[in-house]
Structure 1
């Protein structure tokens, strides 16, 4: 899929996905030894201008996008234009991100006193979330929610929702082979391609899959205002916040949600739909943006 907006600048990427599944022997209920696929899991330590930020446990399918999305969603770097290079090295289980400041001027992001102090404060203030694995949101993200503005004029039809659900169900996935992973999809909500999957990512933690899609959107200059975000995982506060940061007004899941996720979605104005299975769904927030088919219209 070609990016929606041509970018004049792209950081240099050295990306190397890891194998997503491995075959091991298991013994079934009849005592038979059977080769069985299991999901990969690898540590990936993220460095920014030679400073260690975090170690993420990941499937390793989209490591560069994951690292970029992590920086974006944690508000550590404001724009992808600040980044000169992203280099993944599985020999050291790391990804090194180099800023343009370091590449062009020899000074790191941390050398600027004011910015360095602000980043230190952001990295030091943590909110532990319910995300699988790392699941931590840095900084005052909760306080930044009121500054997020989602497009109020966008609408999601029931027909498009069913298209998304069907395409995700039929999409080739690691989960069908090995289980043990979460999947996320970014889908179109515009034109003749409504419901089309633009990017699909699986990882051992749902927040990793979200970050990888966020990194891809950042890199390709893809806007979220006419998109639908689908996840197999539960809709927690972290998932809702990240969706809002990506500018996406529609959030869909086959799973349930938490009270804080519901409260934040209402506060921001996200249309949130959960428990999506077959032709069943539950519309929790943002019903004013949702258009039902005539046969199932609201009374």
Structure 2
């Protein structure tokens, strides 16, 4: 899992689904899989930080990505251990030192809306000013190839529903890492942790999500150094505003051959325009 042998990391993957009996509208009983949801309380050097509701696919990466995205761990060398114990629903994180401004940082947090109840700390917006993203170009045909590749994922969603998926992808249509979780915030934090542990550069990568591109999702992608955003759902006004300020290419409502480019339009080459659909068969997309 890790390229850093000095780290102590559990591999506490939990069951992702469980079966239950449901009754149909015809009064017939059948088995149905449910996506599991479980709390995980993070402790940083014995200080309780937050409780996340998670699927449990890759909890160690989730914890690391969350703490990094909140600015609570700046250097991977500072990390000594992440130990997840599902019996007590806790993750103990041990580092060489506790941030001097931990209490001040925790006092500035704001609970955001949306699936998973993400948390943004007040100093995140300030840290965006120091970001310099790589504005690399991409082709429409590459977006279509990537959407095709992504169809092979979303296993838990296909089996049980009720989850969001996020991925880190290449322009060549390869899905480097895919994660599903109860909240899209957890999924992107897990990806951030994986990339950090594996030493993968994200400067030329694409961030994909099944959920909305809210301000927090855009911020998390930017903190990973990613400048191309792709969502099968919509975007919020603040998410778009942040993407524009950072020069990010934002594509949303991406389903089949359809997508909308919200920002960074000059970076996209339209080399595979689909036939124009008659107005009589067009339908309005809805956010999910």
Q: One fold, TM greater than 0.5?
A: yes
Bigger fraction of residues in helix: 1
1:234 and 2:204 matched: no
**Is 1:55 the counterpart of 2:51 in the alignment?**
yes
2-structure distance, mates of 1:267, 1:220: 29
Matched residues, number: 274
Report the CA distance shift for 1:217/1:131 in structure 2 as closer, same or farther (over 3 A). Answer: farther
Structure-2 residue corresponding to 1:143:
126
Q: CA deviation at 1:171?
A: 2.1
Give distance in 1, aligned partners of 2:84 and 2:126. 33
Decide whether the 8 Å contact of 2:140 with 2:272 is kept in 1.
Answer: no
1:294–1:133: structure 2 CA closer, same or farther, 3 Å change rule?
closer
Shift of 1:185: 0.9
What residue ranges of structure 2 are gaps of 5+ in the alignment? 275-288
Aligned mates of 1:73, 1:8 — CA distance in 2 = 20
Asked if residue 65 in structure 1 is aligned to residue 61 in structure 2, the reply is yes
Distance (whole Å) between structure 2 residues aligned to residue 294 and residue 260 of structure 1 = 30
Aligned counterparts of 1:51 and 1:163: Cα–Cα separation in 2: 45
Looking at structure 1, the residues matched to 114 and 199 of structure 2 have their Cα atoms a distance apart, in angstroms, of 26
Deviation at 1:8, TM superposition (A): 5.9
Contact 2:4 2:197 in 1 (8 A): no
Report the counterpart of residue 76 of structure 1 in structure 2: 72
> Taking structure 1 as reference, are residues 59 and 129 closer, same or farther at Cα in structure 2, changes over 3 Å only?
same
1:284 aligns with 2:258: no
Residue equivalent to 2:279: none
Matched, 1:167 2:149: yes
Following superposition, the deviation at residue 232 of structure 1 comes to 0.2
Given that 2:141 and 2:272 are in contact with CA atoms closer than 8 Å, whether structure 1 keeps it comes out as no
In 2, distance between residues paired with 1:167 and 1:195? 6
Q: Which residue of 1 aligns with 2:90?
A: 94
Deviations 1:150-202 (A, max 9, x none): 013x112111111111111232511011000000011012xxxx110010100
User: In structure 2, how many angstroms separate the alpha carbons of the residues matched to 1:173 and 1:59?
Assistant: 13
Q: Does 1:186 align with 2:186?
A: no
> Which residue is equivalent to 1:210?
188
Q: Which residue of 2 aligns with 1:119?
A: 102
1:22-37 maps to which residues of 2 (within 5 A)? 22-37=18-33
Q: TM-score, normalised by structure 1?
A: 0.88
Quote the Cα distance in structure 2 between the aligned partners of 1:234 and 1:275. 9
Kept after mapping to 2: 8 A contact 1:150/1:248: yes
Q: 1:293 aligns with which of 248, 271, 274?
A: 271
